[in-house]
Structure 1
């Protein structure tokens, strides 16, 4: 009895891992996050595979469907967008399977915040600029611990990748400025990173909200804020001629 939680990647069907792709081909049952997973991935499924869209299901219904198939020793794939460890709500599913003595394996995927960096052609951790990436969201219907309020996190002036918040982008930018980011801090929004209809908007904390509003972007987008998006940074010491390490002597 086994269930495989598979990260589908950010959208491009070629960005799923080889292991995840192979499992999709073998699966007898697939339960996928229909609102976000690219349906092109389902074309990998066997003709007789049972396929469920979890967007219309409750937790109990998802567990019931997966458990029934697992008890029949069928290959069960729970397909999540991006990497399921980030805003994937998989912990509650794994815990319910554990109660039923059903084993499970998690197959990691490419997160949308990484696909966003690729779309922006950007390194988040530039020397002398930022060596920290904060992954977070603005409080909405799902609460955020008080210590993790956006304004508090903004005090670090690190690179920030903000999920699930583009529909509240004016409030996001206000909280970031409240926390210490200057109004001229670079910002970017990437809608549907890696999808054919990917869209990129660049600006600053003081201008990006208006641009995003004018573009009509209200969902399925990542907000990135930080000075890594500017052009000035130090070169890495890793490849510096005067820097030695276990593989190379300084020149």
Structure 2
């Protein structure tokens, strides 16, 4: 492949995949999302690599650098934060490469919503609490389909991970309450820069978290986690129950 899209992971240098780090080490050109990707990931690259920060580039400029590199027979890596498939805007880049006849591949990465759960030592899918995870964002400059408004998604009362929305925290909490299932006492956690050395965790409820966020000055690079999985009684998994038989183990009693 001439171009590789690589998920950088949430920030911790060791949370990029082995394959992703190898692709970085082989790259002649790296175009990375400088506003989100921890620059420490660039330590995987070789000394003579050409590095471009896409935070200062347009789509056409990104494609032009990519095209020029491919024409010279160079290996190009497009480094995205977390996993490229979640809010990575990679489809528009791949469509441009298709038009140019440039081949590419995608190396997945560890998303920040997973790193946030790890930072909290929590499990999203607790029996009798929630078996579903909703990954979404509050509508801002990027529109959201009407059927995916937070107030509508909130009617399910599932474990929820809300990206790119902490700067609109009051609106987010109002939308969640409008769903009629979550209450002001529903637990909320904010994880800022999950897995980075400067990671911070803030806890509260739908009724209190906005004030916490405002007091702490959290306005970006933070994940909003909502739901009973953060603080709730739950049933034990049947998978390890001693009276449960499955294809690998007979019930003990």
User: Could you tell me the TM-score, scaled by structure 2's length?
Assistant: 0.98
Q: Deviations over 1:37-93 (max 9, x none)?
A: 111111221111111000000000101101111122211100000000000000000
Secondary structure of 1:190's match?
Answer: strand
Determine the structure 2 residue equivalent to 1:71: 71
Determine the structure 1 residue equivalent to 2:133: 133
Q: State the superposition RMSD in angstroms.
A: 0.8
Alignment of 1:38-53 (within 5 A): 38-53=38-53
Q: Residues of 1 paired with 2:76 and 2:245: CA distance?
A: 49
Q: Deviations over 1:122-164 (max 9, x none)?
A: 0000000000000000000000000000000000000100000
Moved over 2 A (4+): none
Secondary structure of 2:240's match?
Answer: coil
Number of matched pairs: 251
Determine the structure 1 residue equivalent to 2:142: 142
Determine the structure 1 residue equivalent to 2:238: 237
Alignment of 1:75-224 (within 5 A): 75-180=75-180, 181-224=182-225
Greater mean alpha carbon deviation, residues 210-219 or residues 66-75: 66-75
Secondary structure of 1:98's match?
Answer: helix
Deviation at 1:231, TM superposition (A): 3.3
Q: Deviations over 1:159-207 (max 9, x none)?
A: 1000000000011000000112111111110000001111001111001
Contact map agreement 2:129 2:232 (CA 8 A) in 1: no
Q: Residues of 2 paired with 1:28 and 1:132: CA distance?
A: 41
Q: Residues of 1 paired with 2:241 and 2:73: CA distance?
A: 55
User: Could you tell me the TM-score, scaled by structure 1's length?
Assistant: 0.99
| Structure 1: tracts of 5 or more residues without a match | none
| Structure 2: tracts of 5 or more residues without a match | none
